[in-house]
């Protein structure tokens, strides 16, 4: 537990602050609408459901303000690469951007559910008090006319006993936009489920972009002013503490209490989302501008098992190890952009990606490049964007763990290391790299097998044989691994043994553990990092880092 706190103290502090703000905003709004004199008469009809609805709305606005920030990739890349104050502990938090994006989405869903349930009670009470004939205060308030000569006096949006809740829902701004927002949110959340995102990426991609409808609907949701409170002028003339008990005499000319006047609650959602929306629009404009710059494909290589390598050039393109780009092929779809990790090194005069057939879009792209007699398809590129792998050279010892196609960021890292050695770069802090590659069968990654064999030979020529220690683990039964001197294993790594060995070999080092692979493997590695990190900060420390994009 101590190691976990030491490693994740900033994440814990950040999440505690976020949760604390949610709690504060909810409680503050709840108490205000539950106690404020302005809403005394409104509570006579709605009861505590008013406070539940408004408190959840406040938290909905707050989290809707935050939801776009974690996906402003240019902003995150700038913070990661350009800010001198953004040290390793802070930079690591940027790599949890999608996790925070999901947490905020879950919080939006929670408060949406509370908001909807509260308003269902509100509508039921609006309807019940409008139909009441017992002359109670709620009935009198609900019968205040929508065409009052003295002013805007109505409090109940249901104008007559015959008007149904469904009619009010679909004819009012608040009701109709509320339905649209809810449907948009349900579609976005369900399409973002792991199964759909992995198996039907196109469904996720298109559906997630209805966030535009969500934000537009949210911005105008409160314009109708359906939830109403007493005006300040009316409070001075007819304060509920003095006049509520004399409600039967409000209409009498001789009464000292005038009929209360009401006004709609001002729309406030747009104030919360305006700044992040503008920021996100600038983000999209910048990405659109960069994506329109011409990309020249300099080399196309087809590998076995449907793996395509594209080597490209683009004016002004500058990258770091482990970064990724978004790729679009207008021939296939003008709207779909797919992320791919760069497999080239910053020292090379081109940038490259390796694409494996893993869905309709990738299969269509590979098929388009396989057609020898056709012109080479046009490619658009947006990026590069920063990832956790950029920090690999900040550690004395690095453990690189790739699962399947997850080897791609480490191709960039390993190439860059070779260039640094060849160019006698003495600024390299890293003293040892342990590389683990786990895959079902080697055929689909013959290109990486060739890269390892080449690096192994070149490291030997440079006298750096002990620098790179790699282990290949085959979970299938394909044993056709050619040209590599270090041993290939069958099955999966025994991580406790691996961490124990590294901790013993480097008792005073800071070890960066980098993973590009599934969540199940991430959980195992994270636990090992906590288990084998010493409580003494001067002894071995393991820091876990995972690729997310």
* Model pLDDT for residues 129-179, shown as the tens digit of each residue: 888 777 788 888 887 765 554 456 788 888 877 888 888 888 888 889 999
Beta bridge partners of 324: 341, 385
Does residue 444 have a pLDDT over 60? no
Candidates 61, 29, 110; CA nearest to 219 is 61
pLDDT in tens, 467-476: 778 888 877 6
User: Rounded CA gap, 201 and 121, in Å?
Assistant: 38
Residue 342 backbone dihedrals phi, psi, to 5 degrees = -70, 135
CB 242 within 8 A of CB 221: no
CB atoms within 10 A of CB 518: 13
Q: Distance (Å, rounded) from C-alpha 502 to C-alpha 540?
A: 9
Are 241 and 134 spatial neighbours (Cβ–Cβ below 8 Å)?
no
Q: Are 532 and 500 in contact (CB under 8 A)?
A: yes
Preceding amide of 81 cis, omega within 30: no
425 phi/psi in degrees, rounded to 5: -80, 105
Average pLDDT over residues 254-267: 80
Q: Report the C-alpha gap between 273 and 251 in whole angstroms.
A: 43
Q: Whose CA is closest to 540, among 494, 509, 515, 501? A: 509
Classify 293-385 by CATH class: mainly beta
The alpha-helical segments, DSSP class H, found in 347-494 are: 360-370, 408-422, 446-461
Res 18 pLDDT > 80: yes
- Looking at every residue in the chain, the average pLDDT score rounds to 82
Please answer whether residues 484 and 472 qualify as being in contact, where contact means their C-beta atoms are separated by less than 8 angstroms: yes
What are residue 353's phi and psi, to 5 degrees? -135, 155
Q: Half-sphere exposure of 42 toward its Cβ, with a 13 Å CA cutoff? A: 30
- Phi then psi for residue 434, to 5 deg, are -110, 120
Distance (Å, rounded) from C-alpha 91 to C-alpha 94? Answer: 5
Structural domain boundaries in the chain: 2-284, 293-385, 389-546
d(CA 251, CA 237): 14
Handedness of CA 456, 462, 464, 468 (dihedral sign): negative
- pLDDT at residue number 346: 87
DSSP 440-456: S-SGGGHHHHHHHHHHH
Q: Is the pLDDT reported for residue 212 higher than 90?
A: yes
The more confident residue out of 210 and 95 is: 210
Q: pLDDT band for 220, please (50, 70, 90 cuts).
A: very high
Rounded CA separation 177/226 (Å)? 12
CA 155, CA 143: separation in Å to the nearest integer?
8
Neighbours of 341 (CB within 10 A): 24
Low-confidence winner among 223-227, 302-306, 517-521 (lowest mean pLDDT): 302-306
389-546, CATH topology level = Rossmann fold (3.40.50)
Total-model pTM = 0.79
Model confidence at 61: pLDDT above 60: yes
* DSSP designation for 223: T
Of 426, 434, 38, residue with least CA distance to 235 = 38
Q: Which residues contact 87 (CB under 8 A, 6 or more apart)?
A: none
Per-residue pLDDT, 117: 94
Could you count the other beta carbons within 10 Å of the beta carbon of residue 445?
27
């Amino acid at each position: 537990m101590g190691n976990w706190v030491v490693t994740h103290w900033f994440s814990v502090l950040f999440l505690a602050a976020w949760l604390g703000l949610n709690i504060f905003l909810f409680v503050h709004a709840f108490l205000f609408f539950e106690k404020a004199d302005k809403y005394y008469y409104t509570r006579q009809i709605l009861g505590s459901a008013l406070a539940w609805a408004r408190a959840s709305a406040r938290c909905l606005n707050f989290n809707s303000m935050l939801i776009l920030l974690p996906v402003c990739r240019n902003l995150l890349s700038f913070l990661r690469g350009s800010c001198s104050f953004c040290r390793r502990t802070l930079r690591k938090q940027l790599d949890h951007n999608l996790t925070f994006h999901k947490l905020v989405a879950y919080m939006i869903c929670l408060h949406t559910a509370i908001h909807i349930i509260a308003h269902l009670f509100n509508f039921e009470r609006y309807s019940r008090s409008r139909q009441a004939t017992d002359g109670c205060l709620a009935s009198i308030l609900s019968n205040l006319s929508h065409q009052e000569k003295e002013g805007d006096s109505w409090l109940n949006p249901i104008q007559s006993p015959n008007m149904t809740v469904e009619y009010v829902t679909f004819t009012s701004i608040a009701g109709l936009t509320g339905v649209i927002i809810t449907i948009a949110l349900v579609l976005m959340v369900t399409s973002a489920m792991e199964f759909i995102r992995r198996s039907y990426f196109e469904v996720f991609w298109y559906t997630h972009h209805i966030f535009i409808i969500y934000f537009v609907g949210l911005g105008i949701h409160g314009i109708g002013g359906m939830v109403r409170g007493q005006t300040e002028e009316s409070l001075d003339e007819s304060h509920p503490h003095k006049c509520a008990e004399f409600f039967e005499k409000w209409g009498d000319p001789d009464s000292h209490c005038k009929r209360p006047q009401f006004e709609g609650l001002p729309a406030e959602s747009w104030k919360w989302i305006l700044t992040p929306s503008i920021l996100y629009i600038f983000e999209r404009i910048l990405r659109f501008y960069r994506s329109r710059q011409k990309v020249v494909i300099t080399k196309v290589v087809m590998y076995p098992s449907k793996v395509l390598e594209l080597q490209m050039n683009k004016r002004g393109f500058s990258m770091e190890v482990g970064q990724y780009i978004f790729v679009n092929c207008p021939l296939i779809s003008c709207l779909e952009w797919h992320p791919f990790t760069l497999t080239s090194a910053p020292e090379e005069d081109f940038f490259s990606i390796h694409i494996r057939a893993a869905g309709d879009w990738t299969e269509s792209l590979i098929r388009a490049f396989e057609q020898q007699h056709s012109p080479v398809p046009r490619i658009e590129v947006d990026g590069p964007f920063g990832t956790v792998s950029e920090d690999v050279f900040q550690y004395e010892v690095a453990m690189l763990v790739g699962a399947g196609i997850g080897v791609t960021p480490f191709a960039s890292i390993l190439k860059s290391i070779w260039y640094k050695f060849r160019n006698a770069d003495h600024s390299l802090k890293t003293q040892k790299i342990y590389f683990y590659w786990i895959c079902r069968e080697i055929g689909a990654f013959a290109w990486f097998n060739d890269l390892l064999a080449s690096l192994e030979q070149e490291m030997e020529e440079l006298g750096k044989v002990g620098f790179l220690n790699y282990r290949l683990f085959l979970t299938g039964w394909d044993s056709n691994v050619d040209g590599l001197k270090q041993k290939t294993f069958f099955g999966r790594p025994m991580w406790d043994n691996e961490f124990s060995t590294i901790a013993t070999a480097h008792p005073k080092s800071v070890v960066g553990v980098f993973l590009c692979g599934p969540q199940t493997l991430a959980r195992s590695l994270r636990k090992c990092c906590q288990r084998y990190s010493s409580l003494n900060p001067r002894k071995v420390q393991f820091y876990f880092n995972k690729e997310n994009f």
